[in-house]
Amino acid sequence: MIAEGLFTYRLKRRRHFAIRLIAALLLDAAAALFYPVLMYNAAYSTAMFLVLFAVSVLSLKILFSESWTNILFCGLIAYTTQHLAYDVYNLLGVVTGLSRGISFYGQELIGESNGFLPILYVDSYIVIYWLMWFICGFRIKREDIHALKSLSMMGLAALILLVDVILSLIMTYSVKDDTETLWIVLCYLYNILSCLLAAFLQFYLVFYRKQELELKTVQNLLYQKEEQYKISKDTIDIINIKCHDLKHQIRTLRHSDGEIDKEALREVENAVGIYDAAVKTGNEALDIILTEKSLYCEKNEIKLCCVADGNSLSFMTPTDIYSLFGNALENAVEAVAKIEDKNRRAINLTIKSVGKLLSVHIDNYYEEEPLFRDGLPQSRKGDSRYHGYGVSSMRYIAEKYGGEIAFKSKAGVFELNMLFPLKG
């Protein structure tokens, strides 16, 4: 139950949890005390442990409102942890000469006169339990386990653990007092490695599934950016065409004989000139995203300064350019929009070639201190399942082209730097 608690404390508890906990403890105790011991051999003991494991899984289902997959995962990794601690204790007991390492869980402690053996037993379990929790347990969130769909890897881990338990029992019943210590040590080393392999497979399943879901999310975002890029491109083209026609019409009216308010005419011309004065960097995709953001910044009193050699981005696809710089500028705009001092509402973008490298630099002021995790800024928005993947997609695109991306914040200024290798 202690090992199960290490991996279930984040699960969703059922109502009246305290009462259910007492009932679950009584159920486990009853199963352990009243299970009939009809014979002493490896096969019967294996069946007994399987029944006790099934009862413990049922107890977890009573306690937590989770799927059977989640419950089975937590129960399996808890049993793996317990058996690993048991094997480590027995190995240390054999190596130090305190025991022969051939009894069941702590059975030899009953009536034991050697005071060091109970200390070794407790310390072994405490250390292994803490290590398993620290390395793996607290890193797994409830939604990570909830995302598990396939039981294939979990089944393989369960099979490895089952074989390990069977071999351990066979050794327990076959080892005699005159058995070579080296053989016992090798058997326990094998059991420990089997437990570690089973644990690795289980946690690999969780983290692999998590990475797979994140990758799908990033790919979906890139697909949405591609569609948005197509729409934006068509929209900007249409606006420029219409504005170009309007300017021609205004010039025609200006040279006509009719009387027209020249001040009003100038205001109209300036208004449409905002659209016609699109950013020209030499890269169409970059021009589109910069034009979009320039219009937004103009409207919201944000100064966007851009010095960019768009031609140097020719190695990237238009969709990746739109997504990369779109996400970067969206984050910068969102940060400076919260600043009350309009003089600090400024964003600087520089794209230039330095030798055989392409350097991209974006900096902006900020009001709220950004949060970082693993070197990446984290979203402050409510639902982390749907926010924060913009930065992940930026890193994905940078690595796709063999580049590097880095973020830092200091003295109220946030900086984004990217380096890409240039061919030729």
pLDDT of residue 384: 45
pLDDT at 206 over 50: yes
Q: Is 161 exposed, middle or buried (0-12, 13-18, 19+ CB in 10 A)?
A: buried
Give residue 324's Cα distance to chain centre: 20
327 or 198, which is more confident: 327
What does the pLDDT average to over 234-263? 61
Closest CA to 337 of 306, 303, 376, 311: 303
Tell me what the pLDDT averaged over the chain comes to.
77
121 or 231, which is more confident: 121
Residue 176: pLDDT band with limits 50, 70, 90: low
**Which DSSP letter does residue 12 get?**
P
**Which DSSP letter does residue 370 get?**
P
pLDDT at 225 over 70: no
Q: What architecture is domain 280-424?
A: 2-Layer Sandwich (3.30)
- Domain limits of the chain? 2-218, 280-424
What does the pLDDT average to over 139-162? 60
Residue 12: pLDDT band with limits 50, 70, 90: confident
Write down the pTM of the prediction.
Answer: 0.51
Q: Which range (102-111, 134-143, 221-230) has the least confidence? A: 102-111
Q: How many whole angstroms separate alpha carbon 290 and alpha carbon 298?
A: 12
Q: Is the four-CA dihedral 155, 160, 163, 169 of positive or negative sign? A: negative
What does the pLDDT average to over 238-248? 62
Give the contacts of 411 (CB within 8 A, at least 6 positions apart): none
Q: Which range (4-8, 101-105, 136-140) has the least confidence? A: 101-105
Give the contacts of 76 (CB within 8 A, at least 6 positions apart): 154, 157, 158, 161, 202
Extract the tokens encoding 37. 């011991």
Instruction: Report whether 308 contacts 350 (CB < 8 A).
Output: yes
Half-sphere exposure of 221 (CA within 13 A, CB side): 24
What does the radius of gyration of the chain's CA atoms come to, in whole angstroms? Answer: 33
Q: Which range (83-92, 159-168, 186-195, 206-215) has the least confidence? A: 206-215
pLDDT of residue 352: 93
